Structure 1
Amino acid sequence: MNAELEDFRAGVRDWCREHVPSDWRRAQTGVSGEEFVRFQQEWFQLLRTAGFAVPHWPREWGGGMPVAEQIVLYSELAAHDAPRLVLAFVAIHHAASTLLAAGTEEQRRRHLPAILDGEIWVQGFSEPEAGSDLAALKTSARREGDTYVVNGQKVWASGAAYADWCLLLARTDPDAPKRHGISYFLMDMRTPGIDVRPIRQATGESHFCEIFLADVAIPATRLIGPENAGWQVAQSTLGAERGMTMLELAERLGNAGFRWLVRLCARAGLAGDSLVCDRLAMFDTEITALRGLCRELVEGRANGPANASIVKLVYSELLQRIMDFGAEIGGPPAHTVLAKPVSSGWESGAWMLDFLGSWEWTIPGGTSEIQRTIIGERGLGLPREPVSAR
């Protein structure tokens, strides 16, 4: 590694030692929604001041960090157990990538600086009957002059209770083939007719929400891309979950997740157990491979049509196995922990809650079954599954 990169790493380490709150996990366990938002906003601004909040954005919008430095940044943040930008995730990745790829200059100038100032976004894609088959969505957007009138329902909208804006997919041509009649909108969550209802999960959290839309008026100026071309725009949005975001998650799994698992085994008196050691060695090997896959992806050395799906599939299923093993080693005490720090990822140390939550990752952005189909068809060239026209 060159000297400049080593100097950058040393600078990030110094910054982390000075700014990462040492007791944030305890302080963020069981807090109110208002306290969660306050903490996340303050942490985002600390990262922004240091130039660490949106390193993947173009330079003119506050980013421009070289890929090699981004890799170092995320590995050091993970190694120092920094809080995740849970609340800003959709804004800085999905919303930003959509605006940069398909938004107008006016839309970019309106929203990208606002995101840096703390504007919160939610993704309004999935519906009760359109989850894995997203193109089957039924929420309608009817054009009336310079406005679209939207009616329908969205579900599994993470963080909708706190969101200022929504990335919304709605059907604008009910007679077109299902992938060709969808449009993409920017929806102000303060618009009349929007009803957000949190969903209580098995873990006790309620960050998933339902969004009910009743005659919600969206100005035509908030259409992203051409009318009825929202499906194509959405593919770039979903693609934002790969690459650098997966690298960050892989680094956190290899640091907080695996490191705590090793400590858990030691506390349980199993550090010398041959079966436990074999499992830990297997996990360590798989994490190393995952890190390598992620780095090849973000460095542009793995550009195959299915590589992003491979990374997502490997991460989500490895996450499940590690959390499952942690819950097993933790025994009955791990089953009685009822709260986890809300600013953590899926590696909080509350092993049973993390195991239950890990199943979430096999669903968003395309289920594991869909990822395997993509890998088979696009990566291996296997015959395509039959697809109906509607």
Structure 2
Amino acid sequence: MTQAQSTDTLRQEIRHWLADNVPSGWREAMTNVEQEAFAQAQRDWFRKLVDAGYATPHWPEGWHGGGRSLAEQKVIFEEVARADAPRLIMFFVSLYHAACTLFECGTQEQQDKYLPGIIEGQVWCQGFSEPNAGSDLASLKTRAERKGDRYVINGQKVWSTMAQYADRCLLLVRTDKSGPPQAGQTYLLLDMKAKGITVRPIHQITGDDEFSEVFFDDVEVPVEDRVGEEGNGWAVAQATLASERGLTLVELGQRMRYSLPMITAAMREAGREDDASLRHELGKLSARVDATCALADRYLMRRISGEEQVGDASIVKLYFAETLREFTRLGKRVAGLSGQYDRGFMRGATQETGNWMVDFMNSYNWSIAGGSNEIQRNIIAERMLGMPREPKTWKLEG
């Protein structure tokens, strides 16, 4: 059987499975629902995907569901998007950030200790951003002091997705202030039930409370739960952030493509389907969405063929973020005044829900999360185009 035949067979297999298993009416059920009900729905959907082997196709062979080729992984992500299945927001860090970091940088003992728990449903969060160190991780100040076989942590993290439900945390801390900021960072695996941790959900104006701030007061972490060497946390963190590119953006691009009918429906609802200006804007957006999907596909093909270059992922991330902004902006424009109405916050969806004002505000998340647009442009300019780096003067306070 050729690879094309194999992926076609897989496509039909997962398409039939999704038709039978995607929760019916989940969008309506997850609108204006309390966070606890959403968390339970996420657990139920996660368990279905795990049991079917579709939650971990990107894991290595030997793990349940793992060992899929990149081409097969792409098929699975495309079909999940096509079926409009709920996103596994609560388990995203577990399945990608935590797992991929452990596979790439963790010891065998750490993999054996933590990876089975992820498959069983343990939730991980990410402790990178701080009040004054969001996209600029070089400025983080949360301190870790080594005392014997333990690190003692003091400080604060913010914007930690689903931290209120997390069992463990990927924690980036500062262990040295004497050299360049990146050189003094260390990467730890933290038990979120440890003494001295306080988690406070952030209640947003949209009705969401997906993010939390986390405070550390003399929290102890065993040295054996350090990933990589002390002071090498910056490099490990780059491996973590890289894990969300590629397949994730393939899926999100396809979700945007399948959401375009929302805008045509909004045009009909507003009686503006014959508006020449809007039709022109919709045509430009459709081409831009197609280009986003094509860029993501090309990036994945370069990974499959071993031709990926530094900056390729930044191009896809930057273009997706800008296209998503255009998508939600057009939806808001088409809907007019009715687009300002509160239609209720929908949990577990992307930023294409038809609640246009909320969608537009949430589209800014992708301009910041995982490296801001400005950082992506710097990577492209400096590391792909060879342009000179902007001079920097580092000064670490505190």
Asked whether the two chains share a fold, i.e. TM above 0.5, the reply is yes
Q: Does 1:179 align with 2:182?
A: yes
> Structure 2 residue aligned with 1:35, among 20, 31, 37?
37
Give the deviation of 1:7 after TM superposition: 2.0
Matches within 5 A, 1:130-209: 130-209=133-212
3-state SS, counterpart of residue 21 of structure 1: coil
C-alpha contact (below 8 Å) 2:208/2:345 kept by paired residues: no
- Corresponding residue for residue 49 of structure 1: 51
Q: Can you list the C-alpha shifts for 1:133-167, whole angstroms capped at 9, x where unaligned?
A: 21111110000111100000111111111111110
In structure 1, what residue type is equivalent to 2:43? Q
CA-atom RMSD in angstroms: 1.4
List per-residue Cα deviations over 1:109-129 (Å, max 9, x = no partner): 111111111111111001111
One-letter amino acid of the structure 1 residue matched with residue 256 of structure 2: L
Corresponding residue number in structure 1 for 2:344? 339
The reply to whether residue 243 of structure 1 matches residue 246 of structure 2 is yes
Secondary structure of the 1:378 match is helix
User: In the aligned structure 1, how far is the partner of 2:261 from the partner of 2:75?
Assistant: 19
Provide the aligned length of Structure 1 versus Structure 2.
389
Q: Which residue of 2 aligns with 1:90?
A: 93
**C-alpha separation in 2, matches of 1:2 and 1:272:** 41
* Mapped contact 1:204–1:338 kept (Cα < 8 A): no
How far the C-alpha of 1:388 sits from its partner, in A, is: 2.7
8 Å Cα contact 1:187/1:218 also seen in 2: yes
Deviation at 1:273, TM superposition (A): 2.0
Residue correspondence of structure 1 range 271-282 to structure 2 within 5 A: 271-282=273-284
* Cα distance in structure 2, aligned partners of 1:327 and 1:313: 22
Pair 1:370 & 2:375 matched: yes
TM-score for the superposition, normalised by structure 2: 0.95
What is the one-letter code of the residue matched to 1:177?
A: P
Residue number among 182, 204, 214 corresponding to 2:217 in the alignment: 214
- Partner letter of residue 47 of structure 1? L
Shift of 1:207: 1.1
Distance 2:261 2:82 in 1: 10
Work out whether 1:315 is the aligned partner of 2:317.
no
Give the ranges of 4+ consecutive aligned residues of structure 1 lying more than 3 Å apart after TM superposition.
none
Alignment match of 2:126 (pick from 123, 126, 147): 123
Secondary structure of the corresponding residue to residue 290 of structure 1: helix
Q: Note the C-alpha offset of 1:389.
A: 4.6
In the alignment, the residues of structure 2 paired with residue 60 and residue 244 of structure 1 have an alpha-carbon distance, to the nearest angstrom, of: 21
Counterpart Cα distance in 1 of 2:324 and 2:269: 21
Report the alpha carbon displacement of residue 97 of structure 1 after superposing the two structures with TM: 1.0
CA contact (8 A) 2:206 2:345 kept: no
Cα contact 2:93–2:124 (8 A) shared by 1: yes
Which of the residues 213, 224, 228 maps onto 1:225? 228
Which residue of 1 is the match for residue 388 of structure 2?
Answer: 383
Kindly state the Cα deviation for residue 39 of structure 1 after the two structures are TM-superposed. 0.6
Name the stretch that deviates more: 199-208 or 294-303.
294-303
8 Å CA contact 1:55, 1:64 repeated in 2: yes
Which of 104, 107, 110 is matched with 1:107 structurally?
110
